[in-house]
Structure 1
Amino acid sequence: KLKKTADSGLAGKIRCAHVNSLWWRGHCYYDLWWRGTWEKEGGGPTLNHAVHHIDMINWIQGGLPIEVTSVLANVMHDNSEVEDLSFAALRYADGSVAEVTSSVVHHGEEQGIVLQCEKAKLAAPWSCVAEVTQANGFPVPGHNQELMQKLKDTYAALPDLLYEGHTGEIENVLTALETHTRPFITGEDGRKTVELITAIYKAGFQKRTVTLPIAPEDEYYTMEGLLKNAVHFYEKSASVENFASEEISVGNYDQK
């Protein structure tokens, strides 16, 4: 519904996006034998948590950025080689930008995507705000209520998905097979998401801005090349075969 509202054009073009993949995991999370190593897990929350949010922003934007800058850090998990926090800045061919925060150190686990468009802000969890200028450049008190109402009406008129989460993903693929249509997300889309995550790691490891696409001759084109260049924040100091079965959380999407 956020994408369709953005695609309606009422808010104008997307100029700046904020993507928050904010999770919290205790120190023992990385004690599990395969977690916290570049070789076995492939990365930290940039790959294993924010992958879903990065997939969403690629889908909403309709393609990959052309430049990526990032900062990788491990601020709370000294039993892990991989990052537990990253900040990535993305620049697109049309001049628009985005920032992605990937974390397992954020209490509250608030998830969300905010699209700052030419005429209004659109966000999931759903909210919208639109400003209109005074002669001095400051916003008119009370916002642009007329545009905000149009955006709210557009969003409200869109039907909710019948199924959400994993059930919705499976239903979408099965429906595509049955009706010979394209699913929301294809294998090609998934590859682009992995390429963007790889670019975030490359920029963070090399501490510089990198460009996309990643060419086949680039070391980072393969997992072997990424492993060769990966920064080890710490060395894994503990390992357990498995945890006792406990409930897992899937983040907080409630509007605050």
Structure 2
Amino acid sequence: MTAANQRFRVAIVGCGIGRSHIVEGYEPNADKFEVKALCDLNVERMTPIADEFGIERRVTNFDDLLAMDDIDIIDVCTPPGLHYPMVMAALDAGKHVVCEKPLVGSLAEVDEVIAREKVSKGLLMPVFQYRFGDGIEQAKAIIDAGIAGKPYVGTVETLWTRGPDYYAVPWRGKWKTELGGVLMTHAIHQHDLFTYLMGDIKRLFGRVATRVNTIEVEDCVTASLELENGALGSFTATLGSADEITRIRLAFENVSFESDHAPYNPGAKPWKILPRSPETAERIAALLENWQHVPPRFTTQMARFHAALLGKAPLPVTSADSRRALELVTAFYHSSTTHEDVELPIGPGHARYKSWVPAEFA
């Protein structure tokens, strides 16, 4: 097999969202990847998934994956509290790494991961699958082409539903294992899309509350933001909505965008694109005239990861992207506690650099 069509061999640890990685990511890219091993403490959950996809190698010990010389990529899909040691161990073992969000549990840890990457053989790709699909990529293309002009304001609404059945899973709803609530586990994707399109955040004033479920972590949040480029933004999220939508609305100088409202795939379908003038409409039409379909979510993220592994393209998502997301989370929790604006970037001197988890749960 030539380098141009090399198939990379994958081991997945964690068979919850790990199954979606197979169905949406690796199976549609079967010419690029082969899932050779699964690892999960829950054998009853792992076995039917392994049977379904014909994966013969099944282990319950993560260290067994590290010792497998024929595994190129370790895909970490465990509860968030386990990400840091697994990512570091996989990099130390010379593996490429894919890791679900949140990448790790503090800015200190993400900075350690970034430092380790620089001396590691393998590449690390965090997961932000909502970045991929026709809707999000058309908006990004218009912005990057300079057609949209100056960003003005943007709003992100993550209005989802989670109840006691969801939190019956032992690791959910707890600071030690989930590392946060709706802000960390659910809205993090949409907030990433906001910064991806609008720019870096300069200052944030946020509030978090636990109003829907009897859990340690938050299930309602809201924030007001100022961006480095002068634009303003607002975030709202809850797990107590009667229906489920994700809505991103962005107003630029020459065009406004509104995402599809699909809660878990807002980037897939074409977005509402509202140009201010016929001239802008013509420029957008010309840009998108020969648009090639972009499969959503993991399908495209994994395909672009393959190109990056071959040295043909940059990583589609980087640890720096994860740091930006975790910096926002850190600012959010600190602001809610202190009732103050928090200025970004956040460095080692900040009170929450080493952890945003409340002291009583650390």
- TM-score normalized with structure 1 length: 0.75
What's the counterpart of residue 236 of structure 2?
Answer: 101
Q: Counterparts in 2 of 1:27-106, with a 5 A limit?
A: 27-62=164-199, 64-77=200-213, 79-106=214-241
Q: RMSD between aligned alpha carbons?
A: 2.1
Q: Counterparts in 2 of 1:148-227, with a 5 A limit?
A: 148=281, 150-152=283-285, 154-155=287-288, 157-161=290-294, 163-223=295-355, 226-227=357-358
CA-to-aligned-CA distance 1:106-154 (integer Å, 9 cap, x gap): 23321132210012212222112245xxxxxxxxxxxx45534543553
Residue 74 of structure 1 deviates from its aligned partner by: 2.0
Residue 4 of structure 1 deviates from its aligned partner by: 0.8
Q: Structure 1 residues 157, 15: CA separation in 2 closer, same or farther (over 3 Å shift)?
A: farther
Looking at structure 1, the residues matched to 360 and 256 of structure 2 have their Cα atoms a distance apart, in angstroms, of 39
What's the counterpart of residue 253 of structure 1?
Answer: none
Looking at structure 1, the residues matched to 244 and 346 of structure 2 have their Cα atoms a distance apart, in angstroms, of 31
What's the counterpart of residue 245 of structure 1?
Answer: none
CA-to-aligned-CA distance 1:179-227 (integer Å, 9 cap, x gap): 342122111111111111111111112222111111202221112x533
Give identity over the alignment, percent: 27
Alignment of 1:111 with 2:242, yes or no, is no
CA-to-aligned-CA distance 1:76-126 (integer Å, 9 cap, x gap): 11x111111111211112211111222212233211322100122122221
> Which runs of no fewer than 5 residues in structure 1 stay unpaired?
132-143, 231-256
Relative to its length, the structure with more strand (as a share) is 2
SS in 2 for 1:171: helix
Aligned residues: 214
8 Å CA contact 2:182, 2:239 repeated in 1: yes
Residue 61 of structure 1 deviates from its aligned partner by: 2.9
8 Å CA contact 1:25, 1:104 repeated in 2: yes
CA-to-aligned-CA distance 1:19-72 (integer Å, 9 cap, x gap): 22222112332232111122221111110011111222222234x311001121
Q: Structure 1 residues 206, 147: CA separation in 2 closer, same or farther (over 3 Å shift)?
A: same
Looking at structure 2, the residues matched to 147 and 57 of structure 1 have their Cα atoms a distance apart, in angstroms, of 22
Q: Structure 1 residues 153, 23: CA separation in 2 closer, same or farther (over 3 Å shift)?
A: farther
What's the counterpart of residue 145 of structure 2?
Answer: 8
Higher relative contact order (CA 8 A, sep 6+): 1
Q: Structure 1 residues 229, 71: CA separation in 2 closer, same or farther (over 3 Å shift)?
A: farther
8 Å CA contact 2:151, 2:253 repeated in 1: yes
> Which runs of no fewer than 5 residues in structure 2 stay unpaired?
1-137, 261-270
SS in 1 for 2:244: coil
- TM-score normalized with structure 2 length: 0.55
Residue 156 of structure 1 deviates from its aligned partner by: 5.1
Q: Structure 1 residues 229, 180: CA separation in 2 closer, same or farther (over 3 Å shift)?
A: farther
Moved more, 79-88 or 176-185: 176-185
Looking at structure 1, the residues matched to 246 and 348 of structure 2 have their Cα atoms a distance apart, in angstroms, of 34
Counterpart residue identity of residue 15, structure 1: Y
